[in-house]
Structure 1
Amino acid sequence: MNELLLLALAMLATGAVGGVLAGLFGIGGGIVIVPALDAALSAVGTDPAIRMHVAVATSLATIIPTSIASSRAHHRRQSVDHALVRRWAVFVLLGAIAGAWLASRLHSNVLAAVFAVFALLIAIKLLLPLDGRTLANDVPRNVFITAVPFSIGGISSMMGIGGGTLSVAALTLLNQPIHRAVGTAALFGLVISLPGTLGFVATGIGDPRLPVGSLGYVNLIGFALIAPTTVLLAPAGAALAHRLSQRQLSLMFGGFLLLVSIRMLSRAF
């Protein structure tokens, strides 16, 4: 009973931190939730071969309501680029479906390594003094740019994140102000998390190694405890984001991702 209580408290704390970060950085909170769930599932003896699958899938499920709350908060501050969302949404969606399918066929340690490597690359980009250095003056409209939203959807789905981690980095490189990039990334989170969650439910059905209370790879206990907390606290993070300068926001996000990357690399190897 004590172990279950501690697990429940850990889930609630994870949801609280994830919610604040969702609003602060435009992420779905998955960058926090995935490693926390991985540790919690390890403590209750979940098979290591599917532990990251359950963590990633459950994280994506919690991002559905969180991304709605976060994007609404940013919309009220007029920091969501709805025109860009309309142009990129279908490619993000297709990438998310492909990513969930591929992730279901990989070992847990491979997923942890993917998570760590991309988190590290993004952390380096954000921590370096690259303010004002961009790849373009604005978001291009040519056919080749569709590879960017497709990759964002695919990699984010594999990592169990809402896409903010990659979207913010990509959009700032395309000369978008970070506050607008954060707000737009929050809405992309819904486009990624919904199909990604359904994909993990479908591919995990019937696996005998699943922990109790799971629907496919999505653990409903974790979802029930984390999701409401993230929704409640996402607006607080959004309000905080608009009190920080562009450089302060970049440094905070980059430092956080660096710590997460180190943790997941140790998990993978």
Structure 2
Amino acid sequence: MPIEPLLVLELAALGLATGFLAGLLGIGGGMIMVPFISAILGGRGVEPGLAVKMAIATSMATIIFTSVSSVRAHHQKGAVRWDIVKALAPGIVLGAMVASLGVFALLKGAALYFVFAAFVTFSGSQMFLDKKPAPTRQLPGTPGLLGAGGIIGFLSGLVGAGGGFVSVPFMTWCNVAIHNAVATSAALGFPIALANVVGYVIAGQGLQGLPPHAFGYLWLPALVVIASCSVLMAPLGARAAHALPVKKLKRVFALVLFTLALYMLHKGLLAAGA
């Protein structure tokens, strides 16, 4: 079945926007992609509970490509804390596999709408308030970082985000400089996405009601178009992060997140009542 040109344009615009935001704010773009992909799928007759799961899985898959493009630009500026990446990655992989292989497939679609809305609200609140950490607080030791990585990977697997909505507030809370936190979060997006996507593909085999060009929970047209466009824009966003007043941008972006959270809450209430 051919893919209509209007769909390609919609997905391309979404990819350009999320790629830029991924580089600018260290997010994987899932908080923007999931509401829009679920709406696009819903408009093509996919049942709401399945649409949100496919949107989450497809969003996560695009982060594999966005992360590589974004982190290259951040690394060139020496902003990535690779010591933190190495410490968090093992826990991230474990948490992601638990979420995508088990809990994700078991949760009803309505519940995922509510979970997504809650964590987008949390992330938006952190960005808007821009709370300052205690000056003496530091990153925890290896066991603490392993546990933190597990939480980041698990929550990312449930909502299809690259982990920036948890990892950036966590690192800044531990007095990691904001530019380092954003860059390091971009680097963490790769292990988060890779582990979760493996789980989504395995858990989604044999599903009924999938749209054309689906591979498990992944919707391949969205993956190809969004990833292609987001990879182009992520380096531009990363460069802008080092030149623009990020605090003000974070507050504007927080308002966008609150709007998306209300939309997903509304969709969850509709799915629960269906």
TM-score, normalization by structure 2: 0.92
SS of equivalent to 2:208 = coil
Look up the match of 2:171.
Answer: 171
8 Å contact from structure 1 (residues 14, 226) kept in 2: yes
**Structure 2 CA distance for aligned equivalents of residues 116 and 22 of structure 1:** 19
- Identity, % of aligned pairs? 36
- Measured after TM superposition, the shift of residue 14 of structure 1 is 0.7
Deviations, residues 163-216 of structure 1 (Å, cap 9, x unaligned)? 112111111111111111000000110011011111101111111211110111
8 Å contact from structure 1 (residues 35, 264) kept in 2: yes
Deviations, residues 8-34 of structure 1 (Å, cap 9, x unaligned)? 211111101110011011111111111
Look up the match of 2:82.
Answer: 82
Q: How does 1:193-232 map to 2 (within 5 A)?
A: 193-232=193-232
8 Å contact from structure 1 (residues 136, 173) kept in 2: no
Look up the match of 1:122.
Answer: 123
8 Å contact from structure 2 (residues 87, 146) kept in 1: no
Look up the match of 1:259.
Answer: 259
Structure 1 runs, 4 residues or longer, greater than 4 Å off: none
Look up the match of 2:112.
Answer: 111
Deviations, residues 60-115 of structure 1 (Å, cap 9, x unaligned)? 11110110001111111111000011111100111111111211111111111111
SS of equivalent to 2:146 = helix
1:264 maps to amino acid = M
2:154 maps to amino acid = G
**Structure 1 CA distance for aligned equivalents of residues 117 and 136 of structure 2:** 27
2:100 maps to amino acid = A
2:105 maps to amino acid = S
Unmatched runs of 5 consecutive residues or more in structure 2: 270-274
**Structure 2 CA distance for aligned equivalents of residues 135 and 120 of structure 1:** 26
8 Å contact from structure 2 (residues 168, 185) kept in 1: yes
8 Å contact from structure 1 (residues 179, 246) kept in 2: no
Deviates more, 1:136-145 or 1:180-189: 136-145
Q: How does 1:1-269 map to 2 (within 5 A)?
A: 4-101=4-101, 102-128=103-129, 130=131, 132-134=132-134, 137-141=137-141, 143-269=143-269
8 Å contact from structure 1 (residues 178, 246) kept in 2: no
Judging changes above 3 Å, is the alpha-carbon distance between structure 1 residues 136 and 51 closer, same or farther for their aligned structure 2 residues? farther
1:76 maps to amino acid = Q
TM-score, normalization by structure 1: 0.94
8 Å contact from structure 1 (residues 25, 253) kept in 2: no
Figure out how many residues of one structure are paired with residues of the other and give that number. Answer: 268
8 Å contact from structure 2 (residues 31, 161) kept in 1: yes
**Structure 2 CA distance for aligned equivalents of residues 187 and 145 of structure 1:** 16
**Structure 2 CA distance for aligned equivalents of residues 62 and 106 of structure 1:** 22
**Structure 2 CA distance for aligned equivalents of residues 266 and 52 of structure 1:** 13
Cα-Cα RMSD? 1.8
SS of equivalent to 1:255 = helix
8 Å contact from structure 1 (residues 241, 249) kept in 2: no
**Structure 1 CA distance for aligned equivalents of residues 125 and 9 of structure 2:** 32
**Structure 2 CA distance for aligned equivalents of residues 196 and 94 of structure 1:** 10
Judging changes above 3 Å, is the alpha-carbon distance between structure 1 residues 136 and 185 closer, same or farther for their aligned structure 2 residues? farther
**Structure 1 CA distance for aligned equivalents of residues 70 and 41 of structure 2:** 27
